[in-house]
Amino acid sequence: MTKPADKSNRRRWRIGASIGCVCLLLFIRCVNIRSISTQPALTPDAGADGIIVAGKRIPIGTHVVTWKDPNGYSAYLRGKHFDRSQPADGKRRYSHRSGLPPGMREGDLSHEDLQRVVHQFVVHYDTTGCSRQCFKVLQDVRNLSVHFMLDVDGTIYQTLDVRDKAWHATISNDFAVGIEIAHPGAWKSPLNADMRRWYEQDAQGWRQKFPKWLPETGIRTDGYVPRPARPEFVSGRVQGRTYHQFDFTNEQYRALPKLIAALNKALPRIRIDAPRDPRGKIIDRALPESVLRQFDGVVGHFHVQTNKQDPGPAFQWEHVLDEARQLRAR
């Protein structure tokens, strides 16, 4: 015969066990919710493939982080990106495209309208070494903008729809799309003190480093070490002067042709070619304004302005264009 005390103990044990199971389930649920919310692979921009043209996403075959993504950079923001404690300044880092048909409101350019208006792709290097710092300078300091940024690890950022005009290349702004490629720049004297602030050698050769004043790079690939695509710096003429420059990274050379091919598909007036002289060699200086305005295709910043050298003598024009043509032909 079971004693009353034994029944009472078993009842208390069952109640305690039930409460413990409920607590355990609640704990597991909380842990799972927390792990999901902090899992980078599940953020909305993960795996996104495509650029935005007139509100439509166009696949390009590589990852693109747009201004709509939680970790993106938006040129539509009126104010500072990195210091939100500052009041919004009300300034726009972009404007609407010119060339609107009669009666059309600003901002209403369709994809078809854009195909008639936009006919150039301007290639810059940013001199800031990484896309995070590039956007900080453009957005927070200089009140400028650019449609795309290409980081050292090959990540492409889009900061605004190509339907809108960015401020990056003076007279070409009205009819061009622009990209800032993460790179420290080119110098008139080789391996000078400034160049060595950005580059050093290790057992595998030259690598890009980051100055002490730049503690955060924003590079998305963990442990990534930027290395020039060629083992030594390149010397060449731009605007009639000799400059010295380490090459861009292989990851950038893989991503950029995909973007150019996609832009050519979306905006066919952006031909996959650059300005050439009568011998077929790519011109290494600024074009006369009348020639620049008529050119359809890919240009360097130095083709637009006499005081610019980017993307510099190391930029592999023929390789990039050939790769883009092959991608477009598939």
Concatenated DSSP letters for 298-323? EEEHHHH-TT--TT-TT--HHHHHHH
**272, part of any domain:** yes
Q: Residue 236: how many CB atoms within 10 A of its CB?
A: 16
Q: Please write the tens of the pLDDT for every residue from 139-154.
A: 999 999 999 999 999 9
**199, part of any domain:** no
Determine the Cα–Cα distance for residues 292 and 294; give it in Å rounded to an integer. 5
**256, part of any domain:** yes
Q: Please write the tens of the pLDDT for every residue from 195-242.
A: 999 999 999 999 999 999 999 999 999 999 999 999 999 999 999 999
Angle value at C-alpha 283, between 278 and 287, nearest 5 degrees: 100
Identify the domain containing residue 262 by its residue range.
Answer: 49-187+219-329
CB 266 within 8 A of CB 111: yes
Determine the Cα–Cα distance for residues 99 and 166; give it in Å rounded to an integer. 15
pLDDT at 2 over 70: no
Determine the Cα–Cα distance for residues 111 and 54; give it in Å rounded to an integer. 5
Q: Which amino acid is at 33?
A: I
Residues 158 and 269 reside in one and the same domain: yes
**207, part of any domain:** no
CATH number of the domain that 278 lies in? 3.40.80.10
Rounded to the nearest integer, the mean pLDDT of the chain is 87
In this prediction, residue 110 carries a pLDDT of: 87
Determine the Cα–Cα distance for residues 263 and 97; give it in Å rounded to an integer. 17
Tokens of 225: 């070490």
Residues 74 and 20 reside in one and the same domain: no
Q: Which amino acid is at 302?
A: F
Determine the Cα–Cα distance for residues 19 and 24; give it in Å rounded to an integer. 9
Helices (H) and strands (E) in the chain, counts: 8, 13
**44, part of any domain:** no
Residues 324 and 176 reside in one and the same domain: yes
> For the chain, what is the domain count?
2
| Cα–Cα nearest to 233, from 275, 189, 193 | 189
Q: Residue 27 — pLDDT band, cuts 50, 70, 90?
A: very low
pTM for this structure? Answer: 0.84
Residues 10 and 69 reside in one and the same domain: no
Residues 261 and 165 reside in one and the same domain: yes
